[in-house]
């Protein structure tokens, strides 16, 4: 028997969060052609066709099949901070394992499957699971560089917001002919503008 089919049958014998998942797992194991197109992955991020099946006690949803999914990250500035938002669209999303059988009979692509366990990941699963091919493999050095860049960007956004506020106060002081406020704020503005990488 194929290793993937063995893994599907093995997990079907576990107590599952959605009990009907065991019938779907047995269907997949019996369909050699479909089972051969399954790849077990660590995460579903940015993958198009995915299925998640959870063991009883896992914090994840019990079952989810997504076909034709597209995920994108958007970065925006909220209150002077960079905020990452993930948007995910899909052509089909099924939360009942029995409703997944018909779409999977017609499905011809690669299906990425995640088994979510209640406790530690068992060794039999670690042997077959692969890294998510849609995510870059990151080294500690890359993560450290990305973290530094994020920190620099956050600091620069904070400086720019502060400089814009101070510039507004300077303009109001000039309109009011308030020399004391101008003399107090202008040096602070110049210092912040010099530290800011953007032209203000």
Domain 3-126, second-level architecture: 3-Layer(aba) Sandwich (3.40)
Query: pLDDT tens, 124-161?
Result: 999 899 888 877 665 566 667 777 788 888 888 888 88
Overall average pLDDT of the 164-180 stretch: 90
| Crossing angle (nearest 10°) for helices 21-30 and 3-12 | 160
Q: Under a CB-based contact definition with an 8 Å cutoff, are residues 73 and 84 in contact?
A: yes
pLDDT at 200 over 80: no
Q: Under a CB-based contact definition with an 8 Å cutoff, are residues 51 and 100 in contact?
A: yes
pTM of the predicted structure, to 2 decimals: 0.60
pLDDT at 1 over 70: no
**Which single residue is written with the structure tokens 């890294």?**
131
Query: pLDDT tens, 49-95?
Result: 999 999 999 999 999 998 887 666 666 666 766 677 776 666 778 89
């Amino acid at each position: 028997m194929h290793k993937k089919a063995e893994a599907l049958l093995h997990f079907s014998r576990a107590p599952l969060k959605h009990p009907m998942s065991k019938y779907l797992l047995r269907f997949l194991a019996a369909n050699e052609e479909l089972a051969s197109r399954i790849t077990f992955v660590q995460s579903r991020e940015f993958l198009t066709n995915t299925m998640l099946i959870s063991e009883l006690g896992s914090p994840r949803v019990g079952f989810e099949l997504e076909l034709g999914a597209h995920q994108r990250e958007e970065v925006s500035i909220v209150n002077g901070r960079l905020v990452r938002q993930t948007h995910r669209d899909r052509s089909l999303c099924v939360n009942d394992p029995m409703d997944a059988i018909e779409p999977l009979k017609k499905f011809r692509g690669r299906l990425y499957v995640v088994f979510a366990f209640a406790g530690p990941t068992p060794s039999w699963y670690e042997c077959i699971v692969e890294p998510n091919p849609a995510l870059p493999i990151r080294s500690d050095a890359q993560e450290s560089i990305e973290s530094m860049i994020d920190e620099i960007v956050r600091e620069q956004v904070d400086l720019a917001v502060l400089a814009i506020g101070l510039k507004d106060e300077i303009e109001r002081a000039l309109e009011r002919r308030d020399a004391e406020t101008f003399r107090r704020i202008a040096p602070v503005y110049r210092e912040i503008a010099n530290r800011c990488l953007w032209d203000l």
